[in-house]
Amino acid sequence: MSPARQARVPEGLALITKGESLEIVLEWLEMAHRMGFTEVQLQVCWHPLSSRELEAIAERLRSLALTCRSVGVYNDLLRPSSYHFFNTSGAELRQILDWIPGAGLREAVVWSGSYADDLLADDPRNHTAEARSALKHSIEELLPALERAGTRLVIEPWYTHVLASAADLRELCEAYPESLGVVIDVANLLRPEDWSHRGAAIEATVT
């Protein structure tokens, strides 16, 4: 096989292109194209985020004929003004939601949120009715922007965050069926004490 020939990548397999700057994201997109990927998932991890930078990403996707269905913003819905998760906040999320329709994307991915400053750490306040109420308030604030964009907000769970179980996720998605989706990453919901019976825990999560 010629060294210049692209490898064949299974259809539907996307490369995550994560970057702390525009230049890094563009480099990842070029790399994805050289590797033979036709689909990518963007992950934006910087602020401030400009319309010029977003248009540069959209133009590079078009020029490389890359399909991108989702963009990870991964801010904290419990504290939307904070930048402590992945260097983005609710402000960047709203910019992304305004940008998505013209760029041909379908959804934005976020964390449900935590009162702990460390992404993976626990905080007892996360597991309270007040935290769930704050989360719902943040989501309802975003509903007009989601409707305008014709897109969904996709939540990636973690077992120490406010959405800590499959039951929590199901309940929230049923409350906003047109606006919310979930990243199905079963390992994110497995607590250390679950590992000894992880088969049963995984089955309970996916069903």
Which pLDDT score, from 0 to 100, does residue 173 have? 92
pLDDT (0 to 100) of residue 206: 65
List, for the chain, all residue ranges whose pLDDT scores fall below the cut of 50. 1-5
Task: Read off the pLDDT of residues 24-62 as tens digits, 9 standing for 90 and up.
Answer: 999 999 999 999 999 999 999 999 999 999 999 999 999
pLDDT score, position 181: 94
Q: Which residues of 59-74 are buried (b: 16+ CB within 10 A; e: fewer)?
A: ebbeebebebebbbbb
Q: What is the pLDDT of residue 9?
A: 81
Q: Token pair for residue 8? A: 């064949």
Residue with tokens 């750490």: 121
Specify the pTM. Answer: 0.90
- Which amino acid makes up residue 105? L
Q: What radius of gyration, in Å, describes the C-alpha atoms of the chain?
A: 18
CA distance 74 to 77: 9
Q: What is residue 57's predicted lDDT score, i.e. its pLDDT?
A: 98
Residue 207 is predicted with a pLDDT of 67
Q: What is the per-residue pLDDT for 4? A: 45
